[in-house]
Structure 1
């Protein structure tokens, strides 16, 4: 993702050798994440209990957005080098849309976790998933449609920093900054606010005498879940704001190591969630058996 997001604010101080290494790291990480994300979808589809979980349905939408992002990002240089203008326009539109959809579902993850942990652990919103989907998939489509309607020439071949390679993306620097970095900035600030508010709320509940031991344990577990998931869903992208001057190259390396592996990290978290769910079901079954005996 570094090619479509990070170099927009990086300087030209990155050497050609570093650029090649970063490209290799990014490609390897994205490929690994793509495989892990596809496996995650398969696990979701084949597990009836997981499919019934509303939270998992929210997570799987982010997984699908990341799959689309990786699918359109990995062949981006090949498409720019060998494709026609029409195909390049499609590739640029798809890459922009999938990137915005990823940001959108990151924000919805923060919103969902806030409702789940802060709203007294009980929430019911009519057609909740439908409304989330309209925002998660609809807002990115609206932004891309607006850009291409104003001037489809804003999409085309873009040269990478210190490289002869090109990708199909947004040509206009201002449009690129506003619709990519600007959108992510809003998502990043929103998720950080949700994280702080939720942690403060849960820690406050844990300190009250009326808060039972069972609820206190559930709250602590919720905080751990929130910290883990929110860290995976956008916090590392914030490295883009700390990559100026002497920090440009180290920031790029951190960014290109952590972010392309985001899908792989989500896969690990998903597998751990399945194991915890299985252990909980086993424990409940054991307690029921003992009680009946």
Structure 2
């Protein structure tokens, strides 16, 4: 960027001629389309070939013109105007080499999005820095400095280029001086400010900060999201569309024809040449890597084998997968393709079993929550903990069912026209649902821990009349789960951007940010379980029961507490045995699906359906309703019916009072 000067004469001068000569020397056919279009547009804008609805005088950006006068269009247009032809020449020559390397590496669509994001970010950062300098130094000149030009974006691209192409510890030369590559952009900032005093130091500094924000901060995630959204809403590619797109491409007889492999559109390719295209932004795929195709000497696309030829050829996507997916694929196909197909069939059966289990759990939890909230006699401290646990499980069940149903609808739609949109393939929304799912899962684990802690405290200490501190319990159950999930989501957003919808998140190392605390919860609940069993055995020794009865009660309590306290979730800590036999994988999949998806049913059965207090409340309510119906049918007098119902109500209140007194006495019935 440079401070604003007049718009100047819009005529072809020496700088424009030298820029054109530079472009012709490189070769217009070698310059990627977005880079070439960006240079051509700025040259046309400078020469008034493109006549925008503003003057160059109105394009420069400053705190005074934007923040105080409210001319916000300058945030968008200041980057693409230039003060004079030499300003244009130096910026475009510098951009030419950076654009060629980055666009070939990133792909045209992503590079265009990158330029748009960098342009707006540089303008916003410039305003922030100028406003900060004005307030800090109490100098109004910073707010009046009006900058213009593309050099802020170029400095951001320099940071990105050094990050991608410079190995650690390498040096580069800047005006004959050797400087470390990582500090080259900072040295260039100081050098330009010394040699060209009229250059905008704040504008160039803003570009460096934007480049660092992309390299180490959130801008890369923003660019990736925009790239996925634009790719998702682009017109569906077909073979006819691919051929039409490359109809005017320069190619010769004997070349491999343009083709569409159902994912990517491949251009005509010279014989004995390997063609590269950026990987598609799919789940489990890194869009920064490249898919490969090879054109044989006779102008036919090569097949999967080295000398095999196929109609349409074969595309090598093996380099596109992220490391976690590569590992899973290698394990899945470690034995044979037939075994891999059988394992995939088992996985589909496991998914159906999961949906059945989640549906059953959903119905059971809804019934239990209704019973706990409806009957006043069940409102005690233990039941309040149950309600929190059931609510967390209900949220998790609803989210999982929503995602599974969405995936089924999308996959069914893909077989028709491929244009179905849903949670599973919508960037941003998909990640949000997975964050909510992990939050609900963490909350479930923590409330399981509080269930175990409360049960352990009840059996091992004489605190039956003490009420738990539900403020602390809520902070642990809900607050801590939000904290853990937020930390994990931030790390995933910044460090796990190479694949769509965080595919493979459960096998990445970042998953241990939330999986580690869950493992500690399981370990704590295991300790609670062992000590509870010790207490139960001790109490049974003090009773007059025989040894067989003691063992039966201890085993029954252990079997009830095992799914309750989340010990079964320890199976999730191990990777799926994809490299083992079909039988082993099938047992693992089915057992995990049953234990995990039916968890709501297990806890409902233990804490609600088999609970004596709940059963007594339901039986009593049914008995009262039966008596009321009998009174309403047999008593002709309205006054007598009201009196009878009042007596029945007094009897119910007395029964509830007796039940409340009984609740203060500990029971071994879970």
Q: Same fold (TM over 0.5)?
A: yes
**For each residue in 1:222-269, what CA deviation from the matched residue of structure 2 results, as whole angstroms up to 9, or x when unmatched?**
996675244333122233357644544312211101221111122223
Task: Label 1:151 to 1:185 Cα distance change in 2 as closer, same or farther (>3 A).
Answer: closer
Aligned counterpart for 2:525 among listed residues 188, 191, 201:
191
Counterpart residue number, 1:122: 464
Paired with 1:136 and 1:225, the residues of 2 have a C-alpha distance of 25
SS in 1 for 2:610: helix
Pairs within 5 Å for 1:96-111: 96-111=438-453
Aligned counterpart for 2:514 among listed residues 172, 179, 185:
179
SS in 1 for 2:462: coil
**For each residue in 1:157-197, what CA deviation from the matched residue of structure 2 results, as whole angstroms up to 9, or x when unmatched?**
2557xxxxxxxxx47711124423x2332122111110111
Counterpart residue number, 1:71: 398
More deviation in 23-32 or 73-82?
Answer: 73-82
Q: Which has the larger radius of gyration?
A: 2
Are residues 1:44 and 2:386 paired? Answer: no
Task: Label 1:159 to 1:17 Cα distance change in 2 as closer, same or farther (>3 A).
Answer: farther
Q: For the aligned residues, what is the CA RMSD? A: 3.7
Counterpart residue number, 1:252: 589
Mapped contact 1:191–1:230 kept (Cα < 8 A): no
Are residues 1:272 and 2:610 paired? Answer: yes
Task: Label 1:203 to 1:231 Cα distance change in 2 as closer, same or farther (>3 A).
Answer: same
Paired with 2:464 and 2:512, the residues of 1 have a C-alpha distance of 39
Please state how far the C-alpha of 1:152 moved relative to its aligned partner: 2.1
Task: Label 1:64 to 1:222 Cα distance change in 2 as closer, same or farther (>3 A).
Answer: farther
Pairs within 5 Å for 1:126-205: 128-153=469-494, 154=496, 157-159=501-503, 170=505, 173-180=508-515, 182-205=516-539
Mapped contact 1:62–1:106 kept (Cα < 8 A): yes
Paired with 2:442 and 2:572, the residues of 1 have a C-alpha distance of 16
SS in 1 for 2:501: strand
Counterpart residue number, 1:228: 560
Please state how far the C-alpha of 1:149 moved relative to its aligned partner: 3.3
Mapped contact 1:240–1:251 kept (Cα < 8 A): no
SS in 2 for 1:122: coil
Are residues 1:31 and 2:31 paired? Answer: no
Task: Label 1:191 to 1:25 Cα distance change in 2 as closer, same or farther (>3 A).
Answer: same
Task: Label 1:119 to 1:212 Cα distance change in 2 as closer, same or farther (>3 A).
Answer: farther
Mapped contact 2:439–2:482 kept (Cα < 8 A): yes
Mapped contact 1:73–1:95 kept (Cα < 8 A): yes
Counterpart residue number, 1:86: 428
**For each residue in 1:84-129, what CA deviation from the matched residue of structure 2 results, as whole angstroms up to 9, or x when unmatched?**
322223212101101111111111111111011111353525x612
Paired with 1:76 and 1:15, the residues of 2 have a C-alpha distance of 22
Mapped contact 2:488–2:514 kept (Cα < 8 A): no
**Residue correspondences, number:** 260
Give 5+ residue unaligned stretches, structure 2.
Answer: 1-323, 333-339, 411-420, 546-551, 624-653, 659-670
Larger RCO of the pair (alpha carbons < 8 Å, separation 6+): 1
Task: Label 1:239 to 1:171 Cα distance change in 2 as closer, same or farther (>3 A).
Answer: closer
Counterpart residue number, 2:292: none
Task: Label 1:58 to 1:30 Cα distance change in 2 as closer, same or farther (>3 A).
Answer: same
**For each residue in 1:1-28, what CA deviation from the matched residue of structure 2 results, as whole angstroms up to 9, or x when unmatched?**
xxxxxx9998636711011101100011
Are residues 1:113 and 2:455 paired? Answer: yes
SS in 2 for 1:266: helix
Give 5+ residue unaligned stretches, structure 1.
Answer: 1-6, 161-169, 214-219, 289-293
Mapped contact 2:443–2:477 kept (Cα < 8 A): yes
Please state how far the C-alpha of 1:42 moved relative to its aligned partner: 1.1
Paired with 2:480 and 2:398, the residues of 1 have a C-alpha distance of 21
TM-score by length of 1: 0.74
TM-score by length of 2: 0.35
Counterpart residue number, 2:157: none
Paired with 1:117 and 1:279, the residues of 2 have a C-alpha distance of 28
Counterpart residue number, 1:58: 385
Counterpart residue number, 2:14: none
